[in-house]
Amino acid sequence: MEDPPIVCVPGFLALGDIWDIETLRDRFPSQRFITLCPGPVSSHHDRAVEIFYALKGGVADYGATHACECGHSRYGRAYDAEYPEWDAAHPVHLLGHSIGGQTIRV
């Protein structure tokens, strides 16, 4: 059985370039690493939605109520799926840096 991929989530103002993925891949060649780049100044809710859709694919839906309360569009960008098979039988490990750690808890 293959190890679950490690999903790397950056923190506040980071654009995903904080991870030395090549070194990690060299050191752990059988491990899959997925780096994501949710909005660097977005709310935890918005970032969590973006992470979900980046993994599963589709157009980010922040929810009608949340979008209305926060004064932004309900829908965000469209994502190609990084790990569409993600479900209870195909888990992931989430690794967050700084505020990314709080985001993945959402």
Nearest to 3 by CA among 104, 70, 97, 83: 83
What is the pLDDT at residue 12?
Answer: 85
Give all strands (DSSP E) within the chain, no chain letters. Answer: 6-9, 33-35, 58-61, 75-79, 93-96
- Sites in the chain below the pLDDT cut of 50: none
| Per-residue pLDDT tens over the stretch 74-100 | 999 999 999 999 999 999 999 999 999
What is the pLDDT at residue 2?
Answer: 80
What is the pLDDT at residue 103?
Answer: 93
Tokens 């098979």 appear where? 85
What is the pLDDT at residue 70?
Answer: 95
CB atoms within 10 A of CB 82: 19
What is the pLDDT at residue 16?
Answer: 63
